[in-house]
Chains A and B, each alone.
Chain A
Amino acid sequence: MLIQIKNLIKTYQRHDGAINAIDNLSLDIPKGSFVTITGVSGSGKTTLLLILGGLLRPTSGKMVYNGNVLNLHNEDQLASFRSNHVGFVMQSFALIPYLTAAENIMIALNVKNSDRAKNRIRAIELLEWVGLHDRTSHYPKELSAGQQQRVAIARALANDPDLLLADEPTGNLDPGLSEEILGILKEINQNHKTTVVMVTHSPMAAEYGSIKIKLENGKLHDQQTHVNIE
């Protein structure tokens, strides 16, 4: 297993009382799987994704990553975990506006390696891989939405992550571009053996998952496994 979460609880304090966004959830995510998480708004799917990526600390529970218990309350350890093991693809692309496409990828590479020349070559390779070899010096505002999402995917792959987390990656894209992006994610999963966990509202996108999870009120409502995962 790549990830095992046990008895995970995430409680938000609100003016009208406490709400469990994740309510005593236990889940196993095998290596190399393509997991899609669906559910209505407020079902806890994005909260779960944030916890899986070490972006949000749960209220209680345990997370085992590759056999090691992750200290979910140590910020430095979580930051290192993110830079070494996780790639993120967000609905809003999450690109820095004053950096070019190549530089947006290099900032992720720079965390681990300070060799500017090597990082630039790697960034250009990744941009070529997502079909943007002629857009390396373009700023995000000079790119279409689909191109920006491809840059974001290239950045997510920069440090060869074991786990790629995608939060509504097609939410801002038209159907044609959505399929293109989902195709890239599928390719990453199948060719690079990278585990992909994708949160989506789209039934069409959810069909890409080998494991389909549906959350309701922070609990596992339904889980379907469609293919055997090694």
Chain B
Amino acid sequence: MWPCRLCEIIGIDIVIFLVMRLTDLTLKELWHRKSQLVSGLLAITLGIGVIVGIRTISVVSEKAVAVNLDNLGANILVLPQAVSVDNYYTADIDAPTFPESYVEKVVTSTLSGVDNMSPKLTRRTKVGNENIVLTGILPKSEIASKPLWQKGGLKGKVNASCAPKPGAQPAKYLDAKLQRKGIENLAGYDCFIGSAVANRLKVKENGTLTIQNKTFTIVKILPETGTVDDDRVFANLHTVQALLGTGEQISAIEIMGCCSAINDGLLSKLRNILPDTRITTIGQIVSTQIENNRLMNKISLIFLIIILFVGSISIGNYIWANVNERRKEIGILRMIGYHKRHVYYILVLKAVIMGLVGGIAGFIVGTFSAIWLGPQFAGIEVSPIYLLLLYSVAISIIISIIGSVIPAYMAGKIEPFSNMQED
């Protein structure tokens, strides 16, 4: 008899019974057939392992790209529509101009992922008989993380908000703590000059330089970078605009964009705000790596779909074989009074346990594979991503439950007198 009618209605005794006793029975059966368990887990473990391995390498690789972009400073260049962009570093020289107010357009938009903007006006000019490139910059907007300023000791590090510290998760687009110190001081007639120009003009720090009849004080001679910056003279943007008579025009805006925001379509959003400009990235530097990451993400998604099918079928196959092997046993349980729902529970619980074990084993296999293969194939050091353990277990359990539904349903149809049928 039931302990009480109310308990029967609300199923309390069944719940206690299910949790406390059927689990014992399931665990004992799993242990009894442990060699079969290993073979049953193989497909799901390997499948989850492949997904975890690919995902681990791609996540670490994405972080590496983010760090690379951060180290490069600006990673987006806004230029006039007609300009050629054959060379990212020289594209702004003698380019046509566009209004400086475009900076405000971006600033006042709700666009996220733009960490810093540096408007520039660049023109070739002469100092005596020497050709130089004169670049007007806004000191507080200039991107301080550019290798040029770093090497020159002019300002400390500014991180792109998406560039994570090693081992840390990428930050959100706009980080309130972002250090925007930039180049603090560049007075109206102060200038920084590149090392190549300084050599050619034979000038020294604190000396003067006359450009188009205006005398500039040389605040700093910048160290050699091996780029066109070595031939540049940097002065205050508004002074250069007045000197060249361009009005409030600029030839380029350098933007430090969050790399994940770039991946999420920051460029197209910028193009919507500044439709008559050409917007490009230093994608050529990291495009291969980004493409590899995209490919790996696609592969891991494909594997996820495949493992959902293959894993479910594999587990379903295993549970089905298990049900057939246990027909007599299920018949015995039904004979002594177990309900159909108890049979369902035993088999689904078994699938959940297999999913749990398969997910953990898959995570371990995948992570160790990534740690071993990452440096060899992707050239990056890989460390475990423990969050993937949760995903692995969850996916594995879901796959196992899906796979066990039909066999469990069929097991419920086994008649209670099946144990009487001879082998």
Interface residues of A (CB under 8 A from B): 46, 50, 53, 55-56, 75-76, 79-80, 82-84, 88, 90-92, 94-99, 103, 107-108, 110-112, 114, 116, 155, 159, 167
Contacts and interface: CB of A to CB of B under 8 A. Distances in A.
Contact of B336 (A83, A99, A114, A116): A83
B8 to A, nearest CB: 9
B415 A110 contact: no
B420 A46 contact: yes
A94 B416 contact: no
11 contacts: A46-B420, A79-B416, A82-B336, A94-B328, A94-B332, A95-B332, A103-B28, A107-B25, A107-B336, A112-B337, A159-B337
A75 B1 CA distance: 16
A84 B1 contact: yes
A79 B337 contact: yes
A80 B2 contact: yes
A76 B420 contact: no
B304 interface: no
B419 interface: yes
Nearest to B2: A80
A56 B13 contact: no
B20 A97 contact: no
A95 B329 CA distance: 8
A83 B8 CA distance: 14
Interface string B1-26: 11000000000010011001100010
A84 to B, nearest CB: 6
A116 B21 CA distance: 8
Contacts of B1: 84
A158 to B, nearest CB: 8
Contacts of B17: 110-111, 114
Contacts of B13: 114
Contacts of B333: 107
A167 B419 CA distance: 12
B334 interface: yes
B335 interface: yes
B337 A83 contact: yes
A79 B338 contact: yes
Contacts, number: 80
Contact of B339 (A56, A76, A92, A114): A76
Contacts of B420: 46, 50, 90-92, 94, 167
A167 B331 CA distance: 15
Given A79-B337, A114-B16, 14 more contacts: A50-B420, A55-B416, A55-B417, A56-B417, A79-B339, A83-B336, A96-B332, A98-B29, A99-B25, A99-B28, A108-B336, A114-B13, A114-B17, A159-B337
A186 B419 CA distance: 25
A159 B28 CA distance: 23
Nearest to B33: A98
A116 B28 contact: no
Given A82-B416, A98-B28, A92 B422 contact: yes
A50 B417 contact: yes
B112 to A, nearest CB: 56
Interface string B276-311: 000000000000000000000000000000000000
B256 to A, nearest CB: 64
A217 B403 CA distance: 45
Contacts of A56: 415, 417
B232 interface: no
A143 B331 CA distance: 22
Interface string B317-338: 0000000000011011111111
Given A80-B2, A92-B420, A107-B333, A116 B339 contact: no
B32 interface: yes
A76 B260 CA distance: 57
A113 B171 CA distance: 55
Contacts of A96: 329, 332
A96 B2 CA distance: 25
Query: Closest 3 CB pairs between A and B?
Result: A83-B337, A98-B32, A110-B21
Contact of A55 (B25, B28, B335): B335
Contacts of A82: 335-337, 416
Q: By CB atoms of chain A within 10 A, which of B16, B20, B415, B416 has the most?
A: B416
B340 interface: yes
Contacts of A107: 21, 25, 333, 336
Contacts of A91: 420
Nearest to B337: A83
A97 B32 contact: yes
A80 B2 CA distance: 8
Q: By CB atoms of chain B within 10 A, which of A82, A90, A107 has the most?
A: A107
Interface in B110-152: none
A12 to B, nearest CB: 13
A107 B422 CA distance: 23
Contact of B337 (A46, A84, A94): A84
Given A84-B1, A92-B422, A114 B417 contact: no
Nearest to A98: B32
